[in-house]
Amino acid sequence: MSARLGIVPSQSLNSLSEVLIPLERYVARPFRLDKNWVLSELMSNHGENETFGEIMVFLNRIYTKSGDEGQTGLGDGSRVSKDSLRVTAYGEVDELNSVLGVVLLEESFAEADLLRRIQNDLFDLGADLCVPYTPQEETSQHLRITADQVVFLEKQIDRLNENLAPLRSFILPGGTYAAAYLHLARTVCRRAERAVVTLMKSEPINQQALIYLNRLSDLFFVMARYLNEQGKKDVLWVPGQSRKT
């Protein structure tokens, strides 16, 4: 079986193996990516030196047993414990993406296209985090979150927030079904952000990855208010409401 991964910057087939390694370690986990099959298919159909802009992931095994002793492979081929800071960080991102899948079950969800784009970006983020970062690496060497992806989130925040009334109290998670799950996504996103902050204390990361998560949680907050009839169904916090006088 095969599954679409997404768009990859065009490059020559000579560098394809460098692209496939992180895909196998993150995207196809725990599947096995048949690199030789992909290479042969691309070369037979397009020629050895032709550029490509899209990769199909070929999943031919569902379990590999390679992680049965508590280790997993990173995008650079190194093996680490499954509870390492890096694996924890992109694992939190994976959980966040799953929450967005639940939000999209709402058939009348007004921002479905936006969330699907974010889901794809979160796979980019996972691919970024699964390959150790070096400040000296070339821009196109690995799939990394970019400043443009952050700017896109900021534009969406401004668009959704434009017609919302200013808040005069904190709000409680709730309101509509979709809004409640977006608040859950917001809190999982904050947890993912904290995991990345912990990781960056021990080794360098792509700073845009952290900034992306920071903006994304803000977007979920604003989006939840927008879906609560532009804030009309927000549940406001009443400080000390249940305290005995």
Pairing of strands 235-236, 52-58: unpaired
Where is mean pLDDT largest: 6-10, 59-63, 218-222? Answer: 218-222
pLDDT of residue 231: 81
The reported pLDDT for the residue numbered 50 is 40
Q: Which tens digit of pLDDT belongs to each residue from 181-228? A: 999 999 999 999 999 999 999 999 999 999 999 999 999 999 999 988
Residues with Cβ < 8 Å from 220, sequence gap 6 or more? 182, 183, 185, 186, 189
User: How far apart are the C-alpha atoms of 5 and 56, rounded to whole Å?
Assistant: 6
Residue 59 pairs in a beta bridge with 33
Lowest mean pLDDT among 83-92, 113-122, 194-203, 227-236: 227-236
Query: In the predicted model, what is the mean pLDDT of the chain?
Result: 79
Read off the pLDDT of each residue in 147-159 and give the average, rounded to a whole number.
97
Domain boundaries, the chain: 2-62, 73-236
| pTM to 2 decimal places | 0.76
The residue type found at 133 is Y
**Band of the pLDDT at 58, cuts 50, 70, 90?**
low
DSSP output for the chain = -EEEEEEEEEE-GGGHHHHHHHIIIIITTTS-B-HHHHHHHHHHHH-TT--EEEEEEEB--S--STTTTSEEE-TTS-EEETTSHHHHHHHHHHHHHHHHHHHTT-TT-TTHHHHHHHHHHHHHHHHHHTS---TTS-TTSS----HHHHHHHHHHHHHHHTTSPPPSS-EES-SSHHHHHHHHHHHHHHHHHHHHHHHHTTS---HHHHHHHHHHHHHHHHHHHHHTTTTTT-EE--TTTT---
What pLDDT sits at residue 25?
Answer: 43
Q: Which CATH architecture has domain 73-236?
A: Up-down Bundle (1.20)
